[in-house]
Structure 1
C-alpha cells in the first residue's frame, strides 16, 4: 500500500501569554464557520472525524441495542416512554423522575425498550440522559447488563465524566466478564483521548490474553495512528490485519481515505476506491462515497468530488431511512461551495422525507456560510412552524450570525422570541458576549459572559479565548479587585481554565496568588453578579 501522509497545522497563538495554558480542545468536526468561503483552500481543511469516527462508537451499541428482531416503533406511540423523555433538551435536567413516574403509573418497560431509548439518546448526543437510563436500568429495575451494555455504559461514563471514571468503571468489572467488546470500549476511550501509549498497552494486553480481536479494534487503533501522524505504525497494523486474515470493512477504508487526503495523492485515493468497489464482500452504501467526496474536496479535485456525491445520492434514494444521508449530502455540497446544489438537495429532501431537527441543524449553517441570511431566515421560519421539539441550537445559528455581524437588535429580538419556547444555552450568551465586544458595549459583554459561565457545565470549552480576554481586561480596568477575583474564581469553579492559567490571569490582573487563595472557589462564585461595575 502506498504510505499515507497527513499534515497538521498548529493553532495560532493568542495573547496574553496565559492563553498557552487555556484548556482548549481543537476542532475536529466539519467546519461550519458562518462566513462565506470565496475559494477552496484544501490545506486549511482539518482532519475530520465526523465522516467515519462516529461509526467506531456505533460498534459498541450494535450488539446490545438491536437485541430483538421484532421491532416496535416506540417513537410513534403517542404515550411512549421515549416520547416523554425526548423533549427534555436541557442536559442539567434529569430524566430519572420521568422513568420513576412511568413505573408509578403501573406501566412496564423491558430491557430491549430501554436499550433502544439509550441508542436514540446517544444518536442525538444526549449522553448524560443516556447514562441515566443505563444506570436506572440496572440500579432501579435490577436488569442484568450484557457485555454490550457494559461497553456502552463505559463509553457514556467517559463522555459525561471523563477518562478517569471510565477507567475506574472498567477496573470494577470482574475479570471473567471482560471480553474483547469491553476491552474495545476502553480502547475507544483512550483513542478519543489520543492517549497513544495507553491505547498501545491495552492493545498488547488484548493480544496477550488471546482474545479474538475483530476489525473494530484495529480500526480504533488505525484511526488513532492516523490522527497522531504515526503512519509507519498504521502500515504495520494493516500488515498485521492481512497476516491474521482480518477483513477490512467500510470503516477501515474510510479511515484510509481520510488519512491519505493531506498527501494530495489522488492516485492513492483512486486505488482505495477501486479496492472498495471490487471487494465482493463489501456492501456499498452512501457513506463510503460521502467520505470519498470529502477526501477529494480536501485535495482540490472538485469534479471527482461531485461525481462521488452523485453516487452517494443514488444510494441515499434507495435507503429506507434517508435523513442522515441527506444531512451529510448538504454538508458536503456546502464544503464544495455549491450553493445551488445545497438548495436542490434541500428541496428534494423536503419532498420525500419529514425533516427532523438534524436536517435544520445542517441546512442553517450551510446557508449562513454562503451569507444567505434571507434563505436561512426562511428555513428558520419553516422550522418554527414544523412543531418539532424546540432545539435551541437552531435559533443559535441565526443568533450567532447576527452577533458576528453586529446586528445586536435582531439578535435580541430573536432571543426574546426563542425564550418563549426553550432555554438559551451557554453558547447563546457567548455569542452575545462576542457581539457586544465587537460593538464596543463592554458592560453588556461582561454580563453575557458571566451568564454563559454561570449556566455552562463543568469543563466547558470556550470556542475562542479572545472574548474572555476582552472581558477580563474590562473588569481589570473598570472594577474593583474583588470583582476581578470573583470572575477568575468562577472560571476555576467551572473548570474552564487550568490552575496555570489562573496564576497567569492573577498576575496579569496584578493580584497575588496568596490574596486570591484567601477565598476558596465554591459554587457561590458561579452566581451572576447582577449589574456590572460602572466605569
Structure 2
C-alpha cells in the first residue's frame, strides 16, 4: 500500500514493516528497506527496528556498527536499545560482556528497567558468579522506580538451586510467590517446577493447592506441569492422584497429560503400570500413541518378557496406520523380538506381525528368519516364504 501510494506510512509504521520484513525475509531485506526510506523516516523507531533485526539473527558486527550510528544520531536514549545489545551478547554466549552494557547505560543516564537488570542477573548466574549476581540484584531492589516482579526472584532462585544454595533459593521463591498474580497459572507452574528441582515435595503440593484455589480452573498445561514435577520427584502415587483430578476436571482430552505419568513409569522400569494405564485409556475410547506403546514394548524386551513386548508392539503397529509412525526400536531390540517370535510364535502370528511391520520399515532378513522358523516348527511348506524372499531381494539369512 505504501509503495503504491495508497497511503503514506509514518515512521512508526515503517518500523513495524521493517520488523516484519526482518522476521520473514531476514536482515538483508530489512536493511534494503531501511536504506530506501526517506531521511525524515529514518528516526529512532526505524533505527531501533533495524537493530532488532540484526540482533534477532545474531549479527554481532552489524549490530554494533548500527549501534555506533545510532549513538551519533542521538538515538540511544531508552533502555530498549541497550537491552537489545545485552540480548545479543546473551544469545551468542558472550555473557561476560553484558555487565559492561548495563554500566554504560548508567554512565549515559539511561535508567535500566526490569528487563535490563534481569538480563544482567542472568549473565552472572550462567557463569556461576553468585557474588556478582547478588550485587546487581540488590541494586535492582534498591531502585525506587523499579517494581520487583515474581519473575526476577524466580530467576535468582533458579541459579541458587543450581549452585546448591537451598536456603537462599527458598527465600527467593517465597518472595517470588508473594509477588505472583493470583490468577497467573504460568507463574505458579514455574515456581512448582523450581520447588521440584529442589526436591521439595511439600512445597510442590502446597503451591499446587494454592494454584487450584487461586486460579479456580486449571487447564491441561497446569496439570502437565504439576505431573512433570511429581514425576521428577519420583512421586508416582501422587501423580496418579493428580491425573484422577484431571480426568474429573472436564478439560478436553490431551494425551500429553497421561503420557507424562506413562513416561515416569517407563523411566522407573514400571512397564506393567504403564501398559495398564494405556489399556485403561483405550478402554475409555481415548487416543494413545504408537510411540508410547513402543516404549513399553522396548522395556519388556529388555526385561526378557517377550510375550508382553509382542502384545504392546502389535498395538503400536495397529495405531501406526493412523499416525504415520515409524518404530524407533534399536536393531538389537527388534531382532531379539523377531527371534523370539520365530521360536515361540505361531506361523499365523508371525505372518500377521511381519506383514504389519513391513508397512513401516523396510523388509529385512530378520523378518524372514522369524517366518521360516515358525513355518518349520509347525511343519509347514516354506517354498512360498522363500519365493517372497527372492522377490524382495533378500539373498540369505546369514
Q: TM-score normalised to the size of structure 1? A: 0.50
Question: Counterpart in 2 of 1:322?
Answer: 184
Match of 2:102 in 1: 238
Task: Note if contact 2:118-2:152 (Cα within 8 Å) is conserved in structure 1.
Answer: yes
Aligned residue for 1:410? 273
Flag the structure with more relative contact order, 1 or 2, with Cα contacts below 8 A and sequence separation at least 6.
1
Which of 228, 242, 256 is the equivalent residue of 1:365?
228
Q: Deviations over 1:426-459 (max 9, x none)?
A: 874774576456446688779969959x758xxx
**Matched-pair contact (CA < 8 Å) for 1:296–1:304:** yes
Cα gap change, 1:217 to 1:237, in 2 (>3 Å): same
Unaligned runs of 5+ in 1: 1-143, 159-164, 457-466, 480-526
- TM-superposition CA deviations, 1:145-195 (whole Å, max 9, x none): 95686578679x67xxxxxx55577468565388256435534532xxxx4
CA contact (8 A) 2:188 2:211 kept: yes
Match of 1:336 in 2: 198
Return the alpha-carbon distance in structure 1 between the equivalents of residues 134 and 314 of structure 2.
Answer: 52
Distance 1:185 1:418 in 2: 48
- Alpha-carbon RMSD across the aligned residues, in angstroms, is 4.4
Answer with 1 or 2: which has the greater Rg. 2
CA-CA distance at 1:225 after TM superposition:
2.8
User: CA shift at 1:279, angstroms?
Assistant: 0.8
Paired residue for 2:69?
208
Give the whole-Å Cα distance in 2 for the aligned partners of 1:300 and 1:371: 20
- Give the match's secondary structure for 1:256: helix
Distance 2:281 2:226 in 1: 19
CA distance 1:222–1:426, shift in 2 (3 Å): farther
Gaps of 5+ in 2: 1-8, 339-358, 371-398
Contact 1:226 / 1:234 at 8 angstroms: preserved in 2? Answer: yes
The alignment of Structure 1 onto Structure 2 pairs a total of residues equal to 320
Q: Contact 2:227 / 2:242 at 8 angstroms: preserved in 1?
A: yes
Q: What is the rounded CA distance, in whole Å, between the counterparts of 2:287 and 2:33 in structure 1?
A: 39
Contact 2:182 2:214 in 1 (8 A): no
- CA shift, 1:411, in A, is 2.7
Distance 2:171 2:212 in 1: 23
Query: 1:374 pairs with 225, 233, 237, which one?
Result: 237
Partner of 2:350 in structure 1?
none
> What residue in structure 1 maps to residue 254 of structure 2?
391
Query: Which residue is equivalent to 2:382?
Result: none
Distance 1:472 1:347, change over 3 A: same
Alignment pair present for 1:251 and 2:115: yes
Shift of 1:330: 0.5
Q: Is the 8 A contact 1:392 1:424 kept in 2?
A: yes
Give the Cα–Cα distance (whole angstroms) in 2 for the partners of residues 342 and 394 of structure 1: 18
User: Which of 175, 179, 191 is matched with 2:46 structurally?
Assistant: 179
Please name the residue that 1:471 is paired with: 330
8 A contact 1:447–1:531 mirrored in 2:
no
Kept after mapping to 2: 8 A contact 1:433/1:446: no
State the secondary structure of the residue aligned to 2:330: helix
Cα displacement (A) at 1:377: 0.8
What is the match of residue 158 of structure 2? 294
The CA deviation at 1:256 is 2.4
- Per-residue Cα deviation, 1:260-317 (whole angstroms, up to 9, x for no partner): 235554433332221111111111121111112112222222111111111111112x
Match of 1:528 in 2: 360
Secondary structure of the structure 2 residue equivalent to 1:311: helix
Whole-angstrom CA distance in 1 between matches of 2:290 and 2:78: 41
Q: Does 1:284 align with 2:143?
A: no
Q: In structure 2, how many angstroms separate the alpha carbons of the residues matched to 1:253 and 1:272? A: 7
**Greater Cα shift, 422-431 or 212-221:** 422-431
1:353 aligns with 2:207: no
TM-aligned CA distance change 1:477 to 1:220, over 3 Å:
farther
Answer yes or no: is the 8 Å Cα contact 2:243–2:258 preserved in 1: yes
